[in-house]
Amino acid sequence: MSNAPVPDVGGWFRTATSGVALPATAWGPGAGGFGRVSHDDDLAAAADLFRGRPTLVLTGAGMSTGSGLPDYRGRDAVPRSPMTYQEFVGSDLSRRRYWARSTVGWRWFVHARPNEAHRALAALGGLTPVTGVVTQNVDGLHQAAGSAPVVDLHGNLSRVVCLDCRALSDRHALQEDLLALNPGFADRLVDLAEDSRNAPDGDAEVDRTEDFRYPPCRRCGGMLKPDVVFFGENADRSVVDRAKGLFGEAEALLVLGSSLSVMSGLRFVRRAVQQGKDVVILNDGATRGDDLATLRLHGRLEHVLTRWVEDLA
Give residues in contact with Zn ion (CB under 5 A).
Answer: 162, 164-165, 167, 217, 219-220, 222
Minimal distance, residue 164 CB to Zn ion, in Å: 5
Concatenating the DSSP letter of every residue in 217-276 gives: PTTTS--EEEEEPBBT-PPPHHHHHHHHHHHHT-SEEEEES----SHHHHHHHHHHHHTT
Nearer to Zn ion, 148 or 163 (CB): 163
What's the min distance (Å) between Cβ of 213 and Zn ion?
18
Do β-strands 155-162 and 168-170 pair in parallel, antiparallel, or remain unpaired? antiparallel
Instruction: Give the closest residue to 62 by CA, choosing from 132, 147, 136, 119.
Output: 136
Q: Residue 96 or residue 218: which is nearer to Zn ion going by CB?
A: 218
Sheet holding 252-256, edge to edge: 150-152, 130-135, 55-59, 252-256, 278-282, 295-297
Write down the least CB distance from residue 40 to Zn ion, Å. Answer: 55
Residues 6+ apart with CB under 8 A from 298: 33, 36, 37, 38, 282, 283, 284
CB of 9 to Zn ion, least distance (A): 23
> Taking the CA of residue 100 as centre, how many other CA atoms within 13 Å lie in the half-sphere pointing to its CB?
23
Nearer Cβ to Zn ion (85/247): 85
Q: Which residues pair with residue 296 across a beta bridge?
A: 281
Nearest to Zn ion of 8, 233 (CB atom): 233
Q: Which is nearer to Zn ion, 165 or 190 (CB)?
A: 165
CB 163 → Zn ion: shortest distance, Å?
8
Is 111 marked active-site?
no
71 φ, ψ to 5°? -115, 115
Pick the catalytic residue from 154, 172, 298, 303.
154
Which residues form the catalytic set?
Answer: 154
